[in-house]
């Protein structure tokens, strides 16, 4: 056959630590952002786009 030859090149096996680290970093940053946006100081800031939805959610409880 003509063209590229299929070589058994490992791609995922040597890169799995980077995939795990990326997932943990993404989860950590998302959790940190959520905590920062739900803080008392951020709730009072008029520039916070989530302040209205947070005020509505806390008013029902």
Q: Could you report the per-residue pLDDT of 24-45, keeping only the tens digit for each?
A: 999 999 999 989 888 888 888 8
The CA distance from 51 to 38, in Å, is 8
Q: Return the residue matching tokens 């005020």.
A: 55
The CA distance from 3 to 59, in Å, is 65
Contacts of 55 (CB under 8 A, 6+ apart): 43
Q: Do the beta carbons of residue 34 and residue 48 sit within 8 Å?
A: no
Q: What is the pLDDT of residue 17?
A: 97
Q: Would the pTM count as exceeding 0.75?
A: no
Q: What is the mean pLDDT of the chain?
A: 85
Of 61 and 58, the one with more pLDDT: 58
């Amino acid at each position: 056959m003509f063209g590229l030859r299929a070589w058994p090149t490992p791609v995922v096996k040597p890169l799995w630590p980077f995939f795990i680290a990326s997932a943990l970093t993404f989860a950590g940053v998302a959790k940190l952002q959520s905590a920062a946006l739900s803080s008392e100081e951020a709730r009072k800031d008029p520039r916070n786009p989530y302040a209205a939805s947070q005020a509505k959610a806390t008013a029902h409880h």
